[in-house]
A and B are shown apart, each in its own frame.
Chain A
């Protein structure tokens, strides 16, 4: 078989039993999902392919470690920063502020 083209290219690989447990979607996951839909609607992303491209660029260990919507967040950040829509410094500052707000509650 041809080598997988990235950490996402899973079809046919060896893997364990399927975990059939149902999992609820946390509110922050719905928020990230909605943000992606809106980013597409507003033209911040040209197509879902752009989001997927960023996910496929993740290091294999990150792809494995991150949850589904964490991958989306990571990929959107990559797209928005590389397009100059957001600055990395502002993102870092906002994360720090979010942490502080959480700690203060």
Chain B
């Protein structure tokens, strides 16, 4: 087990890239800034399960976005949130 790079409460940016194969980051979340809500376990990388065994095991996080930041035309409360799971290799520290 490796130590998590990020901790709950930390601001992170979700990478904006689109590999040609299967991956688990929806387009709407790419390039967005989020806050780490929960550090989860280590799992195989979805990208590496295509004809492979998923290695290396990689830390997974549950991250939280503010709906009003995510969707410019969001019709709802400023309180509303969206959570999704993102692997560590898709996250980078967010500054500011």
**A residues near B, CB below 8 A?**
1-5, 9, 11-12, 46-50, 52-53, 56, 83
Contact = CB atoms under 8 A, between A and B. Distances in A.
B38 interface: no
A3 B19 CA distance: 12
Contacts of A2: 16, 18, 27-28, 30-31
Interface of B: 16, 18-19, 21-23, 26-31, 44, 46, 49-54, 71
A76 to B, nearest CB: 14
A47 B49 contact: yes
Given A9-B27, A46-B49, 19 more contacts: A2-B16, A2-B27, A2-B28, A3-B18, A3-B27, A11-B28, A11-B29, A12-B26, A12-B27, A47-B44, A47-B46, A48-B49, A49-B46, A52-B22, A52-B46, A53-B21, A53-B50, A56-B22, A83-B51
B52 A5 contact: no
B27 A49 contact: no
Contacts of B52: 46
B51 A50 contact: yes
Contacts of B18: 2-3, 5
A12 B71 contact: yes
B21 A46 contact: no
12 contacts: A2-B30, A2-B31, A4-B27, A5-B19, A5-B27, A11-B29, A12-B71, A46-B54, A47-B49, A49-B50, A52-B22, A52-B46
